[in-house]
Chains A and B, each alone.
Chain A
Amino acid sequence: MRLKHSLFTRRQFLNGLLGGWLGGLAAIFLYPVLRFVFPPEREPEQVLLPLADYGSLEPGAIKNFAWGSKPGMLKKTAGGELIVFVSVCTHLDCNVAYLPEQKKFFCACHEGWYDENGVNIGGPPPKPLRRLVVTTEGENLVVKPEGAA
């Protein structure tokens, strides 16, 4: 059955609707499946570093800690200020090393270099190392993401 000037027969129209709504239903189910399969990256809200272990850094020295599943580095600058990095290269996610003699961070994967403040100075890294915020609260140093209250 086809009306005059109509592009579709009734059956084609009905089949199209049926297929379209079936596709819609499938899409509704696809959404939770995709959400489940790809978990969001969870990073810690804060990490506590006991002052007893981390408080006595020499200026210029570095100490490692775990920022969730990533390595973090606590550094005391020459001026005595504490700064914290996520020591993961901003290029392709390799863990970086600190070379104390050269006062630089080095990523061995693709030879990326950062200066002692974590600013990218050579090789492929596009951005400085990610900084975290550190404060002292009682017996602990508290490390939080930048921008967190």
Chain B
Amino acid sequence: MSIKSAARATWAWLDDRLGIQTVMDFLKHKQIPLNRHTPWMYTGSLILMFFGLQVLTGIMLAFYYRPTLEEANKSVGEIMTKVPLGWIIRSVHSWSATFMIAIVFIHLLAIWILKSYRKPREMTWMSGALLLVFTLAFGFTGYLLPWDALSLAATKVGTDIPRSIPLIGAWGTRFLRGGEDISGDTLSRFFSFHVSVLPLCLLAALALHVYLIQKLGMSLPVGADEEAENRRVIPFWPNFVYREAVLWLVFIGALVTIAVFLPPTLGKSADLMAPAPEGIKPEWYFLFLFQMLKVFPAKILFVTGDTVAVLLILVAVVLFFFLPLIDNKPAGRKGKIITVLAFLLIVYAVAMSVWSLQTPSKPEADKIIPAPQNIKESTGIFVFLGGIWLCVAVLIYLLRLKIKETDRLLEAGYFSSDKK
């Protein structure tokens, strides 16, 4: 038996049991509408790719990270200075989080403005809103783990926010901190959230999200002529996947390059007794909330400003979650107010963030600034980057040939013959 027929027999054996062909057939028949909104459809799979990178680099970092008061900061320092290429792995984890959250925002704003959440896709939106919450929670819990002055201060503020909610708030703060104050228990709790609770929650919501997208198919632009649109489609596999792959490669290359040249630093181990450092700021995606809490007056009528701000944010979150039920017009109708709201939100968030950046942050003394350990390592890194970009360039060239080829096959009706 030749290798080829052996491979074919193995494939047939697996397919018999797993039904791979059924899945492939489904993906071949899954249709992606081609119109001016198609580019937004790449954002979803990009988020998936960055999430995958987070899982891989996160598992690697957990090999060396030790979530205790005495060891947390030290072990991150060791990852950055002692473990071979550790500073790059940490940098990729940190940058990939930033990329992922940025694209999550773009993804959700695109769907908001295109009104893709309308019937029958309300649940897809809601599961997406859950995914957003889990993603931000990943960012928040991960920020504490290096355990330097900045991360401690950010966590103090963040875990104190629930306290402003009447009745149940204080309980929420105690739950997050594992006690009245931040301690070693907070650290192990956040580590547990970050590496086991949140991944499970996120995967569950993701499964629902992806299942619904497959079940309901891709949405069409508001007011589109359905019949005309249905003629302009490409199959998910292979035509769309090849297009997606180009974007994946570009983003992987960009991510690794940025991670090498702009690695995150690490301050000294946090001191629970020390005053908060001047000019502290949370991660960029929390800046607008941070600024809002900062500028609210101490007292509004009879209640504290914090409570008002937090309650406003809560109302906004609830409205956001139920957006598809509030804007429940049929899919074909325009919705100018909703669109304007989205743009107002963008302007508000950007303005608040820029405002909060006006306070200069004081550069911390004695922090670890990662760098290649010696000339050999830095040469190796440049060779590594060159290799990646060479591969990316060649692969994009080949992928363009594949896109042309599969588009020709599609036009020739090669894929439609097996349409059921």
B84 touches A35 (CB 8 A): yes
Binds A, one of B114-122, B184-192, B208-216, B386-394: B386-394
- Alpha-carbon distance between A36 and B249 when the two chains are bound, in angstroms: 23
- Alpha-carbon distance between A22 and B399 when the two chains are bound, in angstroms: 11
**Closest residue of B by beta carbon distance from A31:** B384
**0/1 per residue, A60-101, Cβ < 8 Å to B?**
000000000000000000000000000000000000000000
A39 — which chain B residues lie within 8 A by C-beta?
A: 82-84
Q: Does B311 reach chain A (CB closer than 8 Å)?
A: no
CB-defined A-B contacts under 8 Å, sample of 12 = A14-B398, A14-B401, A14-B405, A17-B398, A18-B398, A21-B398, A24-B387, A24-B391, A33-B56, A35-B84, A36-B84, A36-B85
- Alpha-carbon distance between A11 and B238 when the two chains are bound, in angstroms: 13
Q: Does B86 reach chain A (CB closer than 8 Å)?
A: yes
B89 touches A25 (CB 8 A): no
| B147-201 at interface with A (beta carbon < 8 Å) | none
Q: Does B76 reach chain A (CB closer than 8 Å)?
A: no
Taking the nearest CB of chain A, how far is it from the CB of B306, in angstroms? 43
State the interface size on chain B (CB cutoff 8 A). Answer: 23
A36 and B83 contact, Cβ closer than 8 Å, known pairs A18-B399, A18-B402, A21-B395: yes
Determine which of A14, A21, A29, A42 lies in contact with B394 in the assembled complex, contact meaning CB atoms within 8 Å. Answer: A21
**Closest residue of B by beta carbon distance from A23:** B391
Taking the nearest CB of chain B, how far is it from the CB of A94, in angstroms? 26
| B228-251 at interface with A (beta carbon < 8 Å) | 249
| B242-265 at interface with A (beta carbon < 8 Å) | 249
B56 — which chain A residues lie within 8 A by C-beta?
A: 33
- Alpha-carbon distance between A40 and B399 when the two chains are bound, in angstroms: 39
| A14-71 at interface with B (beta carbon < 8 Å) | 14, 17-18, 21-22, 24-25, 28-29, 31-33, 35-37, 39-40, 42
Determine which of B83, B392, B405 lies in contact with A11 in the assembled complex, contact meaning CB atoms within 8 Å. Answer: B405
Taking the nearest CB of chain B, how far is it from the CB of A25, in angstroms? 4
**0/1 per residue, A90-125, Cβ < 8 Å to B?**
000000000000000000000000000000000000
- Alpha-carbon distance between A39 and B83 when the two chains are bound, in angstroms: 6
Task: With a 10 A CB-CB cut-off, give which of A17, A18, A36 has the most chain B CB atoms.
Answer: A36
A32 and B391 contact, Cβ closer than 8 Å, known pairs A21-B398, A42-B82: no
A37 and B388 contact, Cβ closer than 8 Å, known pairs A21-B394, A21-B395, A32-B88: no
A33 — which chain B residues lie within 8 A by C-beta?
A: 56, 60
| B56-107 at interface with A (beta carbon < 8 Å) | 56, 60, 63, 82-86, 88-89
A10 — which chain B residues lie within 8 A by C-beta?
A: 405
Main DSSP-derived SS at the A contact region: helix
A25 — which chain B residues lie within 8 A by C-beta?
A: 249, 388, 391-392, 395
A28 and B388 contact, Cβ closer than 8 Å, known pairs A18-B395, A35-B84, A37-B63: yes
**Closest residue of B by beta carbon distance from A28:** B387
A14 — which chain B residues lie within 8 A by C-beta?
A: 398, 401-402, 405
Taking the nearest CB of chain A, how far is it from the CB of B145, in angstroms? 17
A17 — which chain B residues lie within 8 A by C-beta?
A: 398
B387 — which chain A residues lie within 8 A by C-beta?
A: 24, 28
Task: With a 10 A CB-CB cut-off, give which of A29, A31, A33 has the most chain B CB atoms.
Answer: A29
B86 touches A36 (CB 8 A): yes
B88 — which chain A residues lie within 8 A by C-beta?
A: 32
**Closest residue of B by beta carbon distance from A32:** B85
Taking the nearest CB of chain B, how far is it from the CB of A110, in angstroms? 31
**Closest residue of B by beta carbon distance from A42:** B82
A28 touches B401 (CB 8 A): no
- Alpha-carbon distance between A37 and B83 when the two chains are bound, in angstroms: 8
Taking the nearest CB of chain B, how far is it from the CB of A22, in angstroms? 6
**Closest residue of A by beta carbon distance from B387:** A28
A36 touches B89 (CB 8 A): yes
- Alpha-carbon distance between A35 and B79 when the two chains are bound, in angstroms: 12
- Alpha-carbon distance between A10 and B388 when the two chains are bound, in angstroms: 26
Taking the nearest CB of chain A, how far is it from the CB of B415, in angstroms? 14
- Alpha-carbon distance between A35 and B391 when the two chains are bound, in angstroms: 21
- Alpha-carbon distance between A32 and B82 when the two chains are bound, in angstroms: 14
- Alpha-carbon distance between A11 and B392 when the two chains are bound, in angstroms: 20
Taking the nearest CB of chain B, how far is it from the CB of A56, in angstroms? 35
- Alpha-carbon distance between A51 and B392 when the two chains are bound, in angstroms: 60
- Alpha-carbon distance between A24 and B82 when the two chains are bound, in angstroms: 28
Determine which of A18, A22, A36 lies in contact with B60 in the assembled complex, contact meaning CB atoms within 8 Å. Answer: A36
A28 — which chain B residues lie within 8 A by C-beta?
A: 384, 387-388, 391
A35 touches B85 (CB 8 A): yes
Report the 10 A-B pairs with minimum CB-CB distance, sorted nearest first.
Answer: A25-B391, A35-B84, A28-B387, A32-B85, A18-B398, A21-B395, A36-B85, A21-B394, A35-B85, A36-B89
Taking the nearest CB of chain B, how far is it from the CB of A45, in angstroms? 14
- Alpha-carbon distance between A35 and B181 when the two chains are bound, in angstroms: 39
